[in-house]
Amino acid sequence: MRLCKLFVVNVTILLWAFCCFAKPEIHFDFESDTEGWDVPDWAMEQEDHVGKILEVSDEKALKGDKSLKLICAFPGSEWTAGVVEYVMDMDLSGYKSISADIFLPKEAKGGLYKARIILVAGPWWIIEQRYPVPLKTGQWTEVTAKLDVTPEEELMFWKRKTIEASLPANINNVRKIVIRIEYDANPSHAGPPYEGAVYIDNIAIK
């Protein structure tokens, strides 16, 4: 009986510690404003970055009533992208993943659209999700990147230029989160142009 009571007490303490020290989910739903997300100035100055206008819209939403609406002008004949970013110093250690839901309208044809998550961390290291997620025309697609990677498995999920730029070494000093929507075309593998909206909703770090 005493051992049983001791076991119950220990489990209770562990659950209390987990509840007290587990990091709260970070969530963006864009019900009132862009919540700090924006098209960066550097993207405005690059010809291959074709997302220029960002606003909150009630035209599409996965959860709630609104989402981010990024207006892009993809030419279809070369690689181009639209990006949005969130600039804030963050300690993301202890989190398992970051995800975003992206809606590609049915007018965006060709099957060449992809999206990936990019982190800027440490002394401005750029760490890219290794494999972009194909976007499905006319529906929402969830793009998820794994955060709780070990140094040994990191390169399965992320691209970085040097060992110093590894995600595990810099996860406690993330400076930016970037979502990049790509039109993966080139002159020999082109698709139809598309000028219009791409919607982003339900960004979550958990």
pLDDT digits over 176-198, tens only? 999 999 999 999 999 999 999 99
Q: What pLDDT was estimated at residue 68?
A: 98
Specify the higher pLDDT residue, 20 or 117: 117
Specify the higher pLDDT residue, 6 or 55: 55
Average pLDDT over residues 50-64: 97
pTM: 0.88
Confidence category of residue 21, pLDDT binned at 50, 70, 90: low
Confidence category of residue 23, pLDDT binned at 50, 70, 90: confident
**CATH fold of 25-205, please?**
Jelly Rolls (2.60.120)
Tell me the per-residue pLDDT of 31-51, one tens digit each, with 9 for 90 and over: 999 999 999 999 999 999 999
What is the number of other CB atoms lying within 10 angstroms of the CB of residue 86?
19
Q: Where are the beta strands (DSSP E) in the chain?
A: 26-28, 37-38, 51-57, 67-74, 80-90, 97-104, 113-121, 125-129, 133-134, 139-146, 158-159, 174-183, 194-205
Q: What pLDDT was estimated at residue 19?
A: 40
Q: What pLDDT was estimated at residue 1?
A: 54
